[in-house]
Amino acid sequence: MTTRSQSTLTSILAAALFLLGLLPSQPPANLCQSLVVTRDRAQAITDSIGQVHASGPDDPVWSGFAHSTVGIRFGTRCLTALALSWNGLHNGAIVILDSTGIPLYADDHYRAVADLVQAGDGRVGFRYNSVWGSGIWETRFIVLCALTPDVWDECLNVVLDKRTYATGYPPGDSMASLGASLEQTGSVKVLGDTVFLTRRVLLKRSDQAKPRVRYLGTARLLLP
């Protein structure tokens, strides 16, 4: 087989995969490298955004502190998305830094931000704890889309993991097994302008002897 034939076959195969939706509809646009953000710098940004005003590095508010970064392209500019989590996972924030490390945008309404992903030009994805309480737990996957480098808005918001437990009996009571629950586990993968969401649900009802398990398959969600 000649080199030209191999090249032609490769092009035909790529086109077929594209039409079948097995390849991203646009090539990876993000070639930006994220800035190196030290722990001290991340804590200083956290303090300015969340009004933490910790007494020092051993302050309890820094329990479970974590931060991570990913490079995000906005047109010809390279930005850095910074995920923050502090106060034992009870607080968190997403921050966008310019190429010099100056914050352009910040939102501290997302608790325990983690798992940053590049989602294309002017887009960043992450997971956060949306609900946390007695008998309930929920995490969501968010994609923020940039209108300008300093103005970002949610363009995708989906539930990943969810736990809801309901019972009228103490955990040690023989009747506690009659309680009901809903559990969902999910995962996401971003390819080009498409988010692939895979979910599994376990539903337990008080009137059914066995829980109902359902694999919900994979949904394709397009990003703007």
Q: What is the pLDDT along the chain (224 residues), one digit of tens a residue?
A: 444 444 444 444 544 444 444 444 444 444 789 999 999 999 999 999 888 777 777 788 888 899 999 999 999 999 999 999 999 889 999 999 999 999 999 999 999 999 999 999 999 999 999 988 877 889 999 999 999 999 999 999 999 999 998 876 666 666 666 678 899 999 999 999 999 999 999 998 877 778 899 999 999 999 99
Beta bridge partners, 94, equal 83, 107
CB 199 within 8 Å of CB 184 = yes
Is 109 contained in some domain?
yes
Is 205 contained in some domain?
yes
Is 176 contained in some domain?
yes
Is 136 contained in some domain?
yes
Is 7 contained in some domain?
no
Is 11 contained in some domain?
no
Instruction: Measure the CA–CA gap between 111 and 114, rounded to whole angstroms.
Output: 9
pLDDT of 29 reads: 46
Secondary structure (H, E, C), the chain:
CCHHHHHHHHHHHHHHHHHCCCCCCCCCCCCCCCCCCCHHHHHHHHHHHHCCCCCCCCCHHHCCCEEEEEEEEECCEEEEEEEEEECCCCEEEEEEECCCCCEEEEECCCEEEEEEEECCCCEEEEEEEEEEECCEEEEEEEEEEEEECCEEEEEEEEEEEEEEEECCCCCCCCCHHHCEEEEEEEEEEEECCEEEEEEEEEEECCCCCCCEEEEEEEEEEECC
Amino acid letter, 4: R
Per the structure, how many domains does the chain have? 1
pTM: 0.78
Is 206 contained in some domain?
yes
Q: Which domain holds residue 174?
A: 26-222
pLDDT of 91 reads: 92
Is 163 contained in some domain?
yes
